[in-house]
Amino acid sequence: MSILVDDNTRVVVQGITGGEGSFHAQQMMEYGTNVVAGAVPGKGGQEAHGVPVYDTVNEAVEEEDADASVIFVPPAFAADAIFEALDTDLDLAVAITEGVPTQDMSKVYKRLSETDTRLLGPNCPGIITPGEAKLGILPGNIFEAGNVGLVSRSGTLTYQVVDSLTQRGIGQTTAIGIGGDPIIGTDFIDALSLFEDDPDTDAVVMCGEIGGEDEEEAAAFIAENMDTPVSGFIAGRTAPPGKRMGHAGAIVSGSGTGTAESKINALNDAGVPVGDTPEEVADNIEDFL
């Protein structure tokens, strides 16, 4: 089983005629993802990679029965693209775009409370259910179908952990990149809840990083609500206070929260072993299974 996407997911690519959108749409299709349409204002009536392009997401949803979108739109226009997706009947929107202004995302976040559409990202690598569908930029060749869920703020860390798992023959149900920005659509608790409810996910990997308190909040959720075992990893252990490390959300304020130590302690207190390396994370998952 999987969460959020599978081989029945019908995808519209917002920005399919741009460089990034075109390249990754083709990669997604070659992986087997059911890309049914593109949406680009002013490009309606064209085709891209053999699928029709519409002027609006709503047209693509109505004409092609799409239920998910993936957004490859420049930062200045990304919020508008997200709003357009949220104004349809889509189940899922995945925003890959990096550098979306925080002020724009605060408006998007308010809109999310008024819609049933789930948003992943922005500034995320996307989501993949191995062997069925991938939405985003994840390298499909390192994933393998199995029984371990994964949720991560970092794309690169996702790849490292998944590679360690796959090399040991440990496959994945679904892997979700939630993004590393301060304001995102889906957080750790949202994803962990979905994995907890999935009968085919027997263990979960949660990859966090310094900055914010999401991991501490997730640790409390795990302790109170999860029977599925979780293994953790926290990136940025050597980062100095006040310095941004890669992601806009990865800033330690010096207040005593948001540090690698505080996150690791919270996870350990919740019964979550935290690996020092991706290989140690895979060790922990092997012990669970």
Tokens 């290989």 correspond to: 279
The two three-digit tokens of residue 265, written as one number:
């302690």
247 a catalytic residue:
yes
Other Cβ atoms closer than 10 A to 50: 8
Tokens 């019908």 correspond to: 10
Active-site position among 247, 260, 263, 275: 247
How many residues can be counted in the chain?
A: 289
Residue type, 208: G
The maximal CA–CA distance of the chain, rounded, in angstroms, is 56
Three state DSSP letters for the chain: CCCCCCCCCEEEEECCCCHHHHHHHHHHHHHCCEEEEEECCCCCCCEECCEEEECCHHHHHHHHCCCEEEECCCHHHHHHHHHHHHCCCCCEEEECCCCCCHHHHHHHHHHHCCCCCEEECCCCCEEEECCCEEEECCCHHHCCEEEEEEEECCHHHHHHHHHHHHHCCCCEEEEEECCCCCCCCCCHHHHHHHHHHCCCCCEEEEEEECCCCHHHHHHHHHHHHCCCCEEEEEECCCCCCCCCCCCCCCCCCCCCCCCHHHHHHHHHHCCCCECCCHHHHHHHHHHHC
CA angle (263, 98, 92) in 5-degree steps: 85
Other Cβ atoms closer than 10 A to 35: 27
List, by residue number, the catalytic residues: 247
